[in-house]
Structure 1
Amino acid sequence: IGTKLSEDSRKYGAENTCTSGSTLSRASLSYGRARAQMEKEQGNLLKALGTQVAEPLRAMVMGAPLEDARHLAQRYDRMRQEAEAQAIEVSKRQAKVRETPGISENVMKMEAAESKLQDLKSNMAMLGKEAAAAMAAVEAQQQRLTLQRLIAMVEAERSYHQRVLLILDQLEGEMVTERQRIEAPSSPTVENAMPPPPPYEEVNGIYASQTHNGSSDSMNYFLGEVMFTYQAVSDVELSLSVGDYVVVRKVYNVLRFILHYLKI
């Protein structure tokens, strides 16, 4: 299911079927890419479990130390069975000697059977100790190696989950960013903002350069905001209020006077 969803997400993101934006396409591509990375990490985990856990344990089970210990145990088991059979033979010889005393042949056979039984018991005791020591050594080795492989398995799984967690954290961050992008309110427009006044030239048809008698006089104009109230004292003067805008022609002999009342 996850693989199919990943493939569909990549396909959807690549086709970019959204008509109102590419947010969902980018999120789908991010998910598909993250899912592919997680599947790759899972494959690496399985490979690590095979090479670091399963194969060493299999080699340990099929290794020479365990096989040698098994052979010793099998030899001991056969010798024990032989000693049990020989003990029965000795009992028969002893019974026959008791039934027919004085026959030297029966006595010799009984003594030979008893000697063989004694040898079997002695060899069986030595082989039993050797087999027990070998099995104990193999068991200790197997426990140590098995524990090491279990630790390696846990470390591999922990590393896998850490990598997957990093992938998911990155994916979540990308998706949250996309969500914030589409949920962010648009910048409010200032309805009551005062538009800037039109240029003086546009209002009065005056341009910065005019020609008089074939010569060109350069004139500069400034748009200024009135900072102080000024009351006209004659008909040729202009009364000004704070906040008014005026267009000023730069004339050097009146510039100092105007700067007292305008912020240019």
Structure 2
Amino acid sequence: MQLIDIGANLTHDSFDPDRDAVLQRAREAGVAQLIVTGASREHSPRALALAQAHPGVLYATAGVHPHHATEYTAECDADLRALHAHPQVVAVGECGLDYFRDFAPRPAQRRAFERQLQIAADLAAAGNPKPLFLHQRDAHADFIAILHEFDGRLGAAVVHCFTGSREELFAYLDRDWHIGITGWLCDERRGLHLRALVRSIPAGRLMIETDAPYLLPRTVRPQPAHRRNEPMYLAHIVEELARDRGEDVATAAAHTTATARAFFRLPTPG
């Protein structure tokens, strides 16, 4: 069984003491490739550096999360465009809107999102399309409206760490977007609705991710004392996903891996 974690924040400082061991545990758990999330001006270059240090295994995204929207200056835009010249950077983002926490003013979030969508549009126009790695929380209407302004100019998109409603899910599927499912699925307090919704996601649009070090699956036993999520727990997520979809684990793993490999245009390892 080979798995691909499409979203792991491996540049997070919690991994500094044991990052190599984390990657080894992931390999032992069947995680063949990982996409390292670039979510700020500081961490996107670090994500690329990690990908370059682990060719064929790690890849990166480059973007600015809405929490960091106020750092999106002209210089930041130029930095991101330079990062996207590297083949190891396989997606634009993490970008989008987050009205749940509002760590950045909403107008700044919308401006940063629009500028990153322009990067994706420019890459597509130049013959080097890269998919979008999208974030949306409590901002569905504005999120859809902004993306609508770029209709016909963007490539593929995945709504990362989907936690939304049935209406939101079908709005994304109707636009031919992909869906990323995390350990939120395993949260009996907040994720129960996802147990039913994942059955509605076509196999060719569904991918899995840990969002490590966040969102440790609450059904992992025993729970680690440090509460840090790791890519090795992707195997647990695919088991839960398979159960909820009425599939065997091997089928769920094969479908999500094939979808991720095609979506990010990843070569088969080895």
Is the radius of gyration larger for structure 1 or structure 2?
A: 1
Structure with the higher fraction of residues in helix conformation? 1
